[in-house]
Amino acid sequence: MDKTINARTGLKGSIRIPGDKSISHRAVMFGSLAKGDTNITGFLTGDDCMSTISCFRKLGIDIEVVGDRVTVHGKGIKGLSAPSEALDVGNSGTTIRLISGILAAQPFDCVLNGDASIRKRPMKRIIDPLSQMGADIESTNCGYAPLTIHGKKLKAIEYTMPVASAQVKSSILLASLFTEGKTVINEPVASRDHTEIMLNYFGADIKNNNGVITSAPVEELYGKDIEVPGDISSAAFFMAAGLIVPNSHIIIKNVGINPTRTGIIDAFKSMGGFVNIINERSSGGEPVADIEVKTSRLKATTLEGSIIPRMIDEIPVFAVAALCAEGTTVVRNAEELKVKESNRIATMSEELGKLGVKIEETDDGMIIEGGQKIKSGTVYSHLDHRVAMSCAVAALVGNGTTTITDADCVGISFPDFYEKLESL
């Protein structure tokens, strides 16, 4: 599907965004391993999280979906059964990396596969630590999916994370539930901690002492009620739009503001953006708030170090906002962008180039000259949901009508993104 987006002014109104993708995946996975029912509300029914549901159904778990309400009839920590066919993770890196930690410890074998993008995303980062734990994971494609996992008895390890990746950390933590002894993970730069928060809520014993994370095996996890907050990574498109589209004022309701995810708020504030956090509250151990944004004169900034994992998925749309700022913005230490659903340094630079603006690619980030005038044109999503939505935000400040080709990939994380945009 192609989508046309007109340049706009005066985006006004209040919106709710879909549930957090990271939390939705985890609620299904942990609910499947727990004893009793897990009732999830605000679940993100985007394609990625539906891939997680489909995998756990094939592993013998009964999961009901009605709108954004999901009930997982968990069968306990030892309740999964051998699937009769390969598990298809679709486009979802979170599904394949987290589920590998679980499957490595099961008393059966299984095959994991996904789409063309998944088959290009690095899996060695989970194969290495899981193998140290005794896992037997075969990659017929040199460190990429498809993966064949032969279930084994695992042992606890001590592991230092070479990259800040919540997916890798979570994969090890899930495997650690099935070992004897305590697993220790040294995490020099913090990544999102939804796994630690939610697994503890289900009855696990995970502690984080200044970046040293310890996890003890569990006898059992217990089903819980989970209210999934709105996804700050989805809110980011509306934050950026509200800041750069003239005469805008938007309130985004019910957004998860876990401090491991709020780099985008800090970045926009440091650029002089009007970003107001209101109505702060807590839900299931996760902080939640409404976010108010108004059109602002942005100044350039530098992003590097520990803020990068706190906003890794938001950097594509941040780059669009930086194009509208005064001065030169530099993004460093963000090489992880190259191994997302697309190489987001390359794809953003290529597509924004088609709108008449230049983003300079560097080895670990980008240099963005502010004050460039974005034009309208035709851009390609590269089948990457966040590239499509970032281009849509750029299109709002173009000089006419922009067409995004293969625009329906937004269904991965934000199925009604275009409708929400039009509603403002």
Site string for ligand S3P, 362-381 (x = CB under 6 A): --------------------
Is 313 a binding residue for ligand S3P by CB under 6 A? The answer is: yes
Distance CA 391, CA 374 (A): 11
Is 231 a binding residue for ligand S3P by CB under 6 A? The answer is: no
For ligand S3P, the closer CB: 63 or 123: 123
Catalytic residue among 313, 363, 364, 408: 313
Is 336 a binding residue for ligand S3P by CB under 6 A? The answer is: yes
Is 22 a binding residue for ligand S3P by CB under 6 A? The answer is: yes
Listed in sequence order, the DSSP H helices in 116-250 are: 124-132, 166-176, 194-201, 232-244
HSE (CB half, 13 Å, CA atoms) of 184? 7
Chain residue at closest Cβ approach to ligand S3P: 22
Task: Count CB neighbours of 37 within 10 A.
Answer: 15
Residue 59 corresponds to which amino acid?
L
HSE (CB half, 13 Å, CA atoms) of 102? 28
Can the peptide bond before residue 146 be classed as cis, meaning omega within 30 degrees of 0?
yes
Is 166 a binding residue for ligand S3P by CB under 6 A? The answer is: yes
Distance CA 48, CA 259 (A): 24
For ligand S3P, the closer CB: 11 or 267: 267
Is 191 a binding residue for ligand S3P by CB under 6 A? The answer is: yes
Residue 82 corresponds to which amino acid?
A
Site string for ligand S3P, 55-94 (x = CB under 6 A): ---------------------------------------x
Distance CA 213, CA 219 (A): 19
Is 286 a binding residue for ligand S3P by CB under 6 A? The answer is: no
Nearest Cα to Cα of residue 287 among 338, 238, 227, 374: 227
For ligand S3P, the closer CB: 170 or 329: 170
b (16+ CB within 10 A) / e for 301-320: bebeeebbbbbbbbbbbbbb
Least distance to ligand S3P from the beta carbon of 192, Å? Answer: 6
29: its two tokens = 């996975």
Is 292 a binding residue for ligand S3P by CB under 6 A? The answer is: no
Least distance to ligand S3P from the beta carbon of 26, Å? Answer: 7
The single residue among 28, 303, 311, 312 that binds ligand S3P, judged by CB under 6 A, is 312
For ligand S3P, the closer CB: 152 or 344: 344
Helix (H, G, I), strand (E, B) or coil at 266: helix
For ligand S3P, the closer CB: 170 or 376: 170
Beta strand segments in 194-350, E: 205-209, 212-216, 221-222, 225-227, 249-256, 274-283, 286-294, 302-303, 328-331
Give the interface segment with ligand S3P, choosing from 8-16, 65-73, 161-169, 361-369 (CB under 6 A). 161-169
| Radius of gyration for the alpha carbons in the chain, expressed in angstroms and rounded | 21
For ligand S3P, the closer CB: 94 or 329: 94
Is 96 a binding residue for ligand S3P by CB under 6 A? The answer is: no
Is 165 a binding residue for ligand S3P by CB under 6 A? The answer is: yes
For ligand S3P, the closer CB: 263 or 273: 263
Quick check: is 313 catalytic?
A: yes
Is 342 a binding residue for ligand S3P by CB under 6 A? The answer is: no
Residues binding ligand S3P (CB under 6 A): 22, 94, 165-167, 170, 191-192, 312-313, 336
Catalytic machinery residues: 313
